[in-house]
Amino acid sequence: MKLSFRKEPPETGLAGVVRPVPSTVVKGDKLQIGLIEPPHYSSPADAKWAIRIMIFDPAVVPAGWKWVRFKVQCESEPQARQWLQAHWEGIQTKYKLRQSPND
């Protein structure tokens, strides 16, 4: 699965106050599989960028899938991209990834 990224447009209005820095969509074969998220207003002061992916999990009823958030905390969005690309092969073997056409 080929990995790519797409920066979300900045939020406007009051949402822009809460989330001034946009997230980045993580795509696999042009379908959304995860997010790289910046810290926001309610994050702790030492919060960093977080990486989440969607995986299939039959134990989650009725959806059949869930979000997995990695423990890694990155200083910047480019650093999070690099980490994800470096660990991509292991992630694909460990998890059954869910792709979403909605993004």
pLDDT at position 43 over 80: no
pLDDT at position 103 over 70: no
Where are the domains positioned within the chain? Answer: 3-94
Give the pLDDT band of residue 102 (cuts 50, 70, 90): low
Question: pLDDT per residue over 46-87, tens digit each?
Answer: 889 999 999 999 999 899 999 999 999 999 999 999 999 999
Q: Rounded to whole angstroms, how far apart are CA atoms 42 and 20?
A: 12
Give the pLDDT band of residue 32 (cuts 50, 70, 90): very high
pLDDT at position 18 over 70: yes
